[in-house]
Amino acid sequence: MVLSLIDYNINNYSNTIESKDIKDYQQNRYPLLFLDKILDYKPKEYALGLKTFSYNEWFFPSHYEDDPNVPGFVQIECLVQTFIMTFLTLDEFKGSKTNFLDATNIKFRNKIVPGDSLFIEAKLDFFKRGIAKGTAVGSVFDKYTCSADFVIAIPSEFEQYFPKK
């Protein structure tokens, strides 16, 4: 685990962001907003996210009808959407557009199926000049499922440091 801060009793958190309010912080929208809740966060340090998968999700019918499971790209999106909340919760970056620069060390270890709740721990290791680096780890309760390291840019901030012509 990244931080081992996850408390699987989701009622034990007081610093939460509900799904309807996540849209104020990031630009992901249906059908690509994959977070149900930010359970806890500390800007410039960490964010803890939650996604519960229902069989009614749009991707399950086509992702193995006889053995439905969450596609890898959806798992990565859950991880990165939690990760960007480590810096988009800063007032000056709230609602900013973000771009992937790099995703490495991507690992998938256990299948996620309809009915599972994915708990995500994201840690910000570096944030300067609109570039963020860090790690996110997903688990279904205490069973490790996926992880990745990310480098994400906030273009509006990053572009300020380009050489002037």
Q: Does domain 14-161 have CATH number 3.40.50.150?
A: no
Judged against a pLDDT cut of 70, whether residue 9 lies above it is answered with: yes
Q: List, in sequence order, every beta strand (DSSP E) within the chain.
A: 17-18, 37-42, 46-52, 99-108, 117-128, 131-140, 143-153
Judged against a pLDDT cut of 60, whether residue 64 lies above it is answered with: yes
Domain ranges, ordered by start, for the chain: 14-161
Active-site annotation holder among 10, 13, 63, 110 = 63
Judged against a pLDDT cut of 70, whether residue 44 lies above it is answered with: yes
Cα–Cα distance for residue pair 68/59, rounded to 1 Å: 9
Chain centroid offset of residue 104 CA:
15
Judged against a pLDDT cut of 60, whether residue 1 lies above it is answered with: no
Judged against a pLDDT cut of 70, whether residue 160 lies above it is answered with: yes
Residue 63: per-residue pLDDT: 58
**Active site (annotated) includes residue 140:** no
Instruction: Please identify which residue in the block is written with the tokens 């069989």.
Output: 55
What confidence tens digit (pLDDT) does each residue in 17-28 have?
Answer: 999 999 999 999
